[in-house]
C-alpha cells in the first residue's frame, strides 16, 4: 500500500474516531437529542383566535417576520382574550410564550400581579398617535385600538337618529341585545364599564341621594329586559347578531368596515351616542420567562412598523396606534368620527378597576335573573 495512502487513511480513521467519541460522550452526558430542543429555539407568539386565524393578521405578520429574521416563528392560539392570561398561568410550559398579544387596559393590572414582564421602555422614537401616547406602558405597548358601541342593521331598524340610552330603549324590542360575559370576554368588561360610567354620572348628578352602586343596579334593571343573551366570547355574540337571532350586539365601531370592504355589505351600522363611549386598547408584552427574549423585542418593534400596522388594521379591523397609517383608506372616515378625546377618559378606568370584580358579579347575576 502506498505510504501516502496509509497516512491519509490513518488521518481519516483518527478523525472519525474523535468525532464518534465526541458524539458518544455527548450522548452519555446529555442523552439522546430531544426533537423539542429545536422547538425551544423558535419564537413563540401567543394571541387570540381571530388574530391567529387564516382571516386574521397573524399568519401574514408571522410570515413577513420570518423572512425578515430568517428564524422560526410559531403562532399559538391562546384562546379568547378573557381567558388568555389564565391559560398562560395554568400552562406556562405548554404555551412557552415569548410574546403575548391581546391583553387590554383592564387586564394589565392582573397580568402584572400574576407574572413578571420585560421592560420595553416608552418608545419615544416611535410615531405614536398623539392621543394614544399616554397609553404606552413601560412593560406593555399598544398595537391597535377601537371605540366600542352597539351595532345594528339598517334594513331592520334605522337607529341613526338615536343619541341617548333613553331614546334607544324606546326604539328597540325586548330581548334584542347580544352581549358578552365580562368574566371571559374583554368586550364584556367594556360593556360593564360603559354602563358603570353612565351610572356614575347619574349618581353624581343626584348628589348624596344615590351612590354609584345603587345607580349601577338601577341601570342594570333598565337594561336587563332588552338583553337577548350573554355569550362567553365576542365571536359567539357576534354570530347571533349575524344570524339575525339578535337585533343588536356590542362590538367595535370599526366592525362595519369589515363588512363593507370584505363582503360589500353596507347594512351594518355603529350606534353613536352623544354620551361618551368606551374604547379598547390591545397590548403586547414579553413575559420574563421568555426563551427568545431579544427576538421577542424585535417582533414587538416589527408590529409597530407602518406596513405591519396596515396589515393589522386591514385584517384585525381596528385602528392603528402609529400615526397616519389609516390615511386614504376605508378607515379614515370612521377614524374622523370617533375622536379619542370624545370617548371615556383614562382617569375613570382606575376607579372602575377598583370595583370591577364586584360590578361584573352584579352584572352577571342581574342578567341571569331576567
Q: Helices in the chain by DSSP H: which ranges?
A: 3-30, 36-39, 49-52, 58-69, 81-90, 92-95, 108-114, 165-171, 186-206, 212-223, 234-242, 255-262, 293-302, 306-316, 331-337, 347-368
Of these ranges, 93-102, 200-209, 256-265, the one predicted with the greatest mean pLDDT is: 256-265
Of the listed ranges 82-96, 145-159, 233-247, the one predicted with least confidence: 82-96
- Give the integer Cα–Cα distance in Å for 250 and 229: 11
**What is the C-alpha to C-alpha distance for residues 319 and 149, in angstroms, rounded to an integer?**
15
Q: Which three cell numbers stand for residue 211?
A: 351612590
DSSP state of 73: E
> Given this chain, do its domains 36-145+280-340 and 147-279+342-368 carry the same CATH topology?
yes
pLDDT tops 80 at residue 292: yes
Query: In this structure, are strands 141-153 and 73-77 parallel, antiparallel, or unpaired?
Result: unpaired
Q: Which CATH architecture has domain 147-279+342-368?
A: 3-Layer(aba) Sandwich (3.40)
Give Cβ neighbours of residue 198 (< 8 Å, ≥ 6 apart): 165, 219, 275
Phi then psi for residue 31, to 5 deg, are: 80, 180
d(CA 302, CA 331): 22
Q: pTM above 0.75?
A: yes
* Model pLDDT, residue 370: 66
Q: Is residue 40 very low, low, confident or very high in pLDDT (cuts 50, 70, 90)?
A: low
pLDDT digits (tens, 9 = 90+) for 148-187: 999 999 999 999 999 999 999 999 999 999 999 998 899 9
Q: Which residues are bridge partners to 77 per DSSP?
A: 47
What are φ and ψ of residue 227, in 5° steps? -85, 125
Strands 248-252 and 43-47: unpaired
CA dist 6 and 13 (Å) reads 10
Please, are residues 334 and 153 in contact by the beta-carbon 8 Å criterion?
Answer: no
Give the confidence band of 94 by pLDDT, cuts at 50, 70, 90.
low
Please give the Cα distance from 320 to 280 (Å, whole number). 12
Position 343 scores a pLDDT of 87
Separation between Cα atoms, residue 144 and residue 48, nearest integer Å: 14
Domain boundaries, the chain: 36-145+280-340, 147-279+342-368
* CB contact set of 210 (below 8 Å; sequence gap of 6+): 202, 203, 218
What is the C-alpha separation between 36 and 149, in angstroms, rounded? 45
104, 191 in Cβ contact below 8 A?
no
Predicted confidence (pLDDT) at residue 340 exceeds the cutoff of 90:
no
Is domain 36-145+280-340 in CATH 3.40.190.10, yes or no?
yes
CA Rg, the chain, in Å?
26
91 in helix, strand or coil? coil
pLDDT digits (tens, 9 = 90+) for 41-88: 799 999 999 999 999 999 999 999 999 999 999 999 988 767 787 887
Nearest to 278 by CA among 323, 345, 232: 345
CA 201 to chain centre: 28
Given a cut of 60, whether residue 1 has pLDDT beyond it is: no
Which cell numbers in the block locate residue 341? Answer: 378625546
Amino acid at each position: 500500500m502506498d505510504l501516502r495512502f496509509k497516512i491519509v487513511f490513518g488521518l481519516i480513521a483518527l478523525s472519525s474516531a474523535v468525532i464518534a467519541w465526541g458524539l458518544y460522550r455527548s450522548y452519555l452526558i446529555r442523552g439522546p437529542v430531544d426533537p423539542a430542543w429545536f422547538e425551544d429555539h423558535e419564537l413563540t407568539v401567543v394571541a387570540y383566535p381571530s388574530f391567529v386565524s387564516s382571516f386574521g393578521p397573524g399568519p401574514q405578520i408571522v410570515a413577513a417576520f420570518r423572512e425578515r429574521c430568517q428564524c422560526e416563528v410559531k403562532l399559538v392560539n391562546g384562546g379568547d382574550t378573557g381567558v388568555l392570561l389564565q391559560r398562560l398561568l395554568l400552562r406556562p410550559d405548554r404555551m412557552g410564550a415569548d410574546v403575548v398579544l391581546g391583553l387590554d387596559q383592564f387586564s394589565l393590572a392582573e397580568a402584572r400581579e400574576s407574572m413578571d414582564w420585560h421592560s420595553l421602555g416608552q418608545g419615544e422614537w416611535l410615531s405614536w398617535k398623539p392621543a394614544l401616547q399616554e397609553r404606552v406602558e413601560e412593560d406593555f405597548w399598544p398595537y391597535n385600538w377601537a371605540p366600542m358601541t352597539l351595532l345594528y342593521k339598517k334594513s331592520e331598524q334605522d337607529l341613526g337618529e338615536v343619541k341617548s340610552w333613553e331614546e334607544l330603549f324606546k326604539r328597540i324590542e325586548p330581548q334584542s341585545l347580544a352581549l358578552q360575559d365580562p368574566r371571559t370576554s374583554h368586550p364584556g368588561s367594556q360593556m360593564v364599564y360603559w354602563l358603570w360610567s353612565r351610572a356614575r354620572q347619574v349618581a353624581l348628578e343626584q348628589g348624596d341621594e344615590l351612590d354609584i352602586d345603587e345607580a349601577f343596579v338601577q341601570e342594570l334593571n333598565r337594561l336587563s329586559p332588552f338583553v337577548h343573551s350573554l355569550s362567553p366570547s365576542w365571536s359567539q355574540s357576534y354570530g347571533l347578531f349575524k344570524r339575525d337571532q339578535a337585533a343588536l350586539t356590542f362590538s367595535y365601531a370599526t366592525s362595519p368596515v369589515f363588512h363593507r370592504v370584505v363582503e360589500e355589505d353596507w347594512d351594518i351600522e355603529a350606534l353613536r351616542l352623544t354620551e361618551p363611549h368606551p374604547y379598547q386598547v390591545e397590548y403586547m408584552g414579553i413575559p420574563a420567562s421568555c426563551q427568545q427574549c431579544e427576538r421577542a423585542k424585535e417582533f414587538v418593534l416589527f408590529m409597530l412598523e407602518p406596513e405591519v400596522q396596515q396589515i393589522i388594521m386591514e385584517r384585525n379591523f381596528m385602528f392603528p396606534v402609529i400615526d397616519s397609517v389609516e390615511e386614504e383608506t376605508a378607515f379614515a372616515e370612521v377614524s374622523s368620527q370617533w375622536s379619542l378625546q370624545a370617548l371615556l377618559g383614562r382617569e375613570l378606568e382606575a376607579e372602575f378597576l377598583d370595583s370591577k370584580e364586584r360590578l361584573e358579579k352584579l352584572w352577571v347575576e342581574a342578567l341571569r335573573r331576567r
